[in-house]
Every structure is written in C-alpha cells, then in structure tokens.
Amino acid sequence: MTVAFPQFMPWMLTPEQMQDQWMDFSRKMAHLPKALEVARKVRVGATPSDAVFRLDKLRLLRYVTDVEQQFSTPLLVVFALVNRPYILDLRPGKSVVSHFVNRGFDTYNLDWGVPTDGDRFLNMEDYIERYLDTVVDQVRSRTGSDRISILGYCMGGSMSAMYAALHPEKIKNLILLAAPVDWSNREYLLAKWTDASVFDVDKLMQVYGNAPAELLQGSFQLLKPVSTLVEKYFSFYENMEDEKFLEDFFAMETWLNDNIPVAGEMFRQFVKYCMQQNKLIQGKLRIGDRVVDLRKITCPILNLTATQDHLVPPELSLPFNDAVGSTDRKSINFPAGHIGLAVGTKANRELWPSVCDWVAERSEPA
C-alpha cells in the first residue's frame, strides 16, 4: 500500500518520508540562529577603495591593490542612480571590479551618493555635463591619460552613452552592461507601466520631489513577483544549512534592500524623454543646449546584455551598436539575468575574463 499509492500520487508522502521531512525541518530550524548570525555579520564590498574626490554628494572611489598596473588607460565604472554601486564589487568571487583590478587596470567607481529633498532639481545636464564630466576630468588629470575607458551599468550605461556622444574625445573604450538605449519596444513590462497613458511622471515629481526609493523597489519586485517574493524564500529554506549560500544570499539581500531615491528632475527627464518618448536613439535628446547624437561615438564599443534580463531586455540595448559611428563594436548576449550579469558565478567565470581581454587589447600599456 505504501509503495503503490505514491506511484499514482507522488505528492503523497509515506510515513517514513514525512518523518524525514520533519527531521529536515527540525534541523533547519536548529540552524536558524546560525543563519541570523550570518545575516548580522555579512559584509559587502570585496576590494578596498579610497575616496579620491568628492563633489556635492558624489564620491569617486579608486580601488587599492598591490597588483602592478599594466595599463595606463584607466577604467571608470558608472553605476545607475537607482541602488548602490557596490553590486559591482559585492563579494570575493562575485566582483566585476576585482577582475579589472587584478588584471592591472587603474579602476575607479563613481558613487553618486544619496539625493535628499534639496537635490530634487538636479537634472540630466547636472548629472552628465557637470558631475560625470568633472569626474572624467578628475580621472584624466589623476592618471595623465587623455582618454579613459568607461563601464556603464544599466541606467549608468545609458548616461555613459550620452556622455560619450557629447565628449567623444575623452573616451577610449565604452563598455555598456545591460544599458537601455532604445525604448521602441513597448511590450516589455516596465514599458507598459511607465507608458505616458498610465504613469504621470510630472505629477509624481511635483508631489514627491524625488522618486521615492520604496516606489522603485516595489516596482522592481513586482516585475517578477513569484520569483522575488516566493521562490527566493523556498530556495533560502532549502539551503539554510549552507553557509556559503547564506553569505551570498544576505549580501545580495543587503544590496537589494539598500534602495535610494532618484533626484526628481533627473528621474522625470529620464522617464519622459527616454522611456516614454524614446528620444535618445532617435538623436533628439537634448542635454542643456546640446543634442545627444550617438553617431559621434567613434570609440570601440562592447555591449553586454543578458538573455533573461526582465528589467532591460536585450532588444533595448542591442540597437546601440547600429546607432554609433564606431567601426569596432561587439555585443555579447550572455545567458543570465540583469543582476546575474554582474554577480553570477558563470558570468564571473566566463564573461568577465573575456571582457577584461577585450578592454586590455584596446588600452594603452603602462
């Protein structure tokens, strides 16, 4: 009876299996204090860094290393205004930054800081023509290199592309990591939610000032609710006794919940002109009194996308390669998700070493 019955209904447990499950549950619960201890002690950031420059709230971080510098062309990492930039240097073995540092690149990271109510009027011109340009000039003057490589992630990639179009003479190589540039595809979920007929971004900014962190986090979680609100915790329960898993899990959770608001006017302009009106790829986006013309980008381009990216599907990024004036351009569509592209084990094992090779081939030796 106990053997035949489950053959037809495999979800029915035999008494022995029920006992095993109970033992497993008890063992996991006994491990709970240890898991909480791991959560309390979790540290994010794998590579030591110094803040070498500050302007208003932003900080320019330079990664410190004993590795001898192999290239005189420095690398600047530009992260999105949403969330914190340490996702690119989350933990040992899950750090994009460490690949470049260990390869001998002088590597910098731009931490935009946390905007407050007083920053609500900061706009695209402030962020790109003032902050980013000043930081690029800082890196250039510190390293004595006329042109630098930029790695832009997500919204930071879009901003890097805008900057490269406005100041092509300062860019040696441009690496875009899951960076949206063409919002003509209106079928992906975020496009539907941010459509002008649904989302009144002018009103939101008028009322709230800055884009609230909770709104952004809630929206991102709701894009894949089963995965982010259910499956993740099943996976946590099943791996509760694996300390390495717990460390990675809590480091990731720390980053996911470390949300920051986005300066209101910048958010409004980005949503309205880029996401809703798709002006960037059409060459109609104006920053200050200048038009962003992507054809002016002539440096080597490496466009990295993730096949399972629900936030920035590849079709939002790939048209960039056809819109620029560069002849040396390459795209890699890697099997990962939006965050997995940076912290995934496979990406760190296979993708990033080859990206380092690509940048190394196009950088000046020290």
Active site residues: 154, 309, 338
* Cβ closest to other proteins, residue 30 vs residue 51: 51
* Cβ closest to other proteins, residue 126 vs residue 248: 126
CB of 334 to other proteins, least distance (A): 22
CB of 212 to other proteins, least distance (A): 10
CB of 108 to other proteins, least distance (A): 13
Local structure of residue 271 (DSSP, 8 states)? I
* Cβ closest to other proteins, residue 70 vs residue 235: 235
* Cβ closest to other proteins, residue 8 vs residue 66: 8
CB proximity list for 341: less than 8 A, separation 6 or greater: 177, 178, 304, 305, 306, 309, 334, 347, 351
CB of 59 to other proteins, least distance (A): 9
**Which pair of tokens denotes residue 196?**
């002008």
* Cβ closest to other proteins, residue 55 vs residue 67: 55
Considering only CA atoms, which of 324, 330, 356 is closest in space to residue 181? 324
Q: Within 10 A of 317 (CB to CB), how many other CB atoms are there?
A: 27
- Binding residues for other proteins, per CB under 8 A? 6-7, 10-11, 16-17, 20, 50-55, 117-118, 120-121, 125-126, 129-131, 133-134, 138, 169, 189, 192-193, 195, 197-200, 203-204, 206-209, 222-227, 230-231, 234, 290
Q: Are strands 49-55 and 58-63 parallel, antiparallel or unpaired?
A: antiparallel
CB of 156 to other proteins, least distance (A): 19
CB of 55 to other proteins, least distance (A): 4
**Which pair of tokens denotes residue 240?**
């509760």
The CA distance from 170 to 148, in Å, is: 6
Considering only CA atoms, which of 147, 49, 42 is closest in space to residue 98? 49
Q: Within 10 A of 121 (CB to CB), how many other CB atoms are there?
A: 11
Q: Within 10 A of 14 (CB to CB), how many other CB atoms are there?
A: 13
DSSP, collapsed to helix, strand or coil, labels residue 166 as helix
CB 337, CB 310: distance < 8 Å: yes
Angle at 305 between CA 301 and CA 306, to 5 degrees: 165
* Cβ closest to other proteins, residue 125 vs residue 241: 125
